[in-house]
C-alpha cells in the first residue's frame, strides 16, 4: 500500500520544467483519458482552437475521452528569463495515422505547477522528428525588453495576446473564418525576434 501511495503522490507532484509538464500531460492523456488530461492541465481561462478560439473548459465540459489518445512530444521549448512562461512546440500522431504539430503556451502557477493557457496546431503531411531531448532556449536576462505593441490586431478577426511578467516572451494570435495565426517572440538581449509562426488556412 505504501509504495502505491508514494507512486500516486509522485504522479501528482509539480513538474519541474515545461518540458516535463508536456511529457506528463501527454502521458496522462493515455492513462486518464485525452480530454480529461486536457482539462486537468489547463487554466480556467485556457484557449484552444476548434478551429475557432474557444475556452477549453467550456468546449471540453461534456466531451467523452476517445478510446485511444493522441500521442505527442515536445521538440523545442522557449522559456522566459523569469521562468514563468514557456512555449513548447512539437509533433503529434493520431490513432488513425494522421500527423501534425502543436504549439502550447505554458504558465507557472503560484503552487509551482505548470498549466497550459493556449493550445494551437494543425496537420502535416509528414510527422516531425521525435528528438531524444528537446531543444531548450531561454530568453536573455541581460536587459529588459522595450514594450512593443501586439502585432496581430487585424480588423474583423478575433485576437488575443499575452506575455511573461518580465516581458521576455510574448505571443499573439488572430482568427477569422477560414484562417488563424499564432506568433511568439523571445527576447535575445536587444530585440524580440519571432521564434514561432503558425499560419493555418482551413479547407473551404
Using alpha carbons, select from 16, 27, 35, 192 the residue that is nearest to residue 106.
Answer: 16
Q: Cα separations (Å) of 155 from 6, 86, 118, 175, 176?
A: 53, 28, 22, 10, 10
Q: Please state, in angstroms and as integers, the Cα–Cα distance from residue 170 to each residue in 13, 29, 66, 135, following that order.
A: 28, 28, 33, 19
Rounded to whole angstroms, how far apart are CA atoms 41 and 117?
9
**Please, which pLDDT band fits residue 131 given cuts at 50, 70 and 90?**
very high
Q: What is the pTM assigned to this prediction? A: 0.89
Q: Provide the β-strand partners of residue 108.
A: 114
Question: Of 103 and 11, which is predicted with more confidence?
Answer: 103
15: confidence class by pLDDT, cuts 50, 70, 90: confident
Averaged pLDDT of the chain: 90
State the pLDDT at residue 151: 54
- At residue 13 the predicted structure's pLDDT band, cuts being 50, 70 and 90, is low
- Please choose, from the candidates 196, 200, 195, the residue with its C-alpha nearest in 3D space to the C-alpha of residue 175: 200
Average pLDDT over residues 184-202: 94
The three-point CA angle 150-152-153 to 5° equals 90
Give residue 148's pLDDT.
52
C-alpha cell belonging to residue 186? 523571445
Domains and CATH numbers, the chain: 2-201 (3.10.450.50)
Provide the residue count of the chain: 204
Query: In this prediction, what percent of the chain has a pLDDT beyond 90?
Result: 81
Amino acid at each position: 500500500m505504501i509504495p502505491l501511495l508514494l507512486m500516486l503522490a509522485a504522479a501528482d507532484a509539480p513538474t519541474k520544467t515545461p518540458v516535463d509538464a508536456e511529457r506528463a500531460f501527454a502521458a496522462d492523456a493515455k492513462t486518464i483519458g485525452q480530454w480529461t488530461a486536457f482539462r486537468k492541465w489547463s487554466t480556467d481561462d485556457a484557449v484552444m482552437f476548434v478551429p475557432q478560439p474557444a475556452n477549453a473548459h467550456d468546449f471540453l465540459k461534456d466531451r467523452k475521452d476517445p478510446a485511444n489518445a493522441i500521442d505527442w512530444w515536445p521538440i523545442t521549448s522557449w522559456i522566459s528569463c523569469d521562468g514563468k512562461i514557456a512555449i513548447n512546440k512539437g509533433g503529434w500522431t493520431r490513432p488513425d495515422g494522421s500527423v501534425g504539430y502543436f504549439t502550447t503556451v505554458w504558465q507557472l502557477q503560484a503552487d509551482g505547477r505548470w498549466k497550459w493557457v493556449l493550445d494551437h496546431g494543425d496537420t502535416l503531411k509528414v510527422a516531425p522528428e521525435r528528438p531524444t531531448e528537446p531543444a531548450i532556449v531561454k530568453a536573455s536576462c541581460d536587459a529588459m525588453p522595450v514594450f512593443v505593441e501586439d502585432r496581430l490586431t487585424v480588423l474583423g478577426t478575433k485576437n488575443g495576446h499575452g506575455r511573461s511578467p518580465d516581458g521576455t516572451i510574448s505571443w499573439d494570435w488572430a482568427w477569422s473564418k477560414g484562417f488563424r495565426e499564432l506568433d511568439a517572440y523571445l527576447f535575445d538581449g536587444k530585440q524580440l525576434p519571432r521564434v514561432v509562426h503558425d499560419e493555418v488556412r482551413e479547407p473551404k
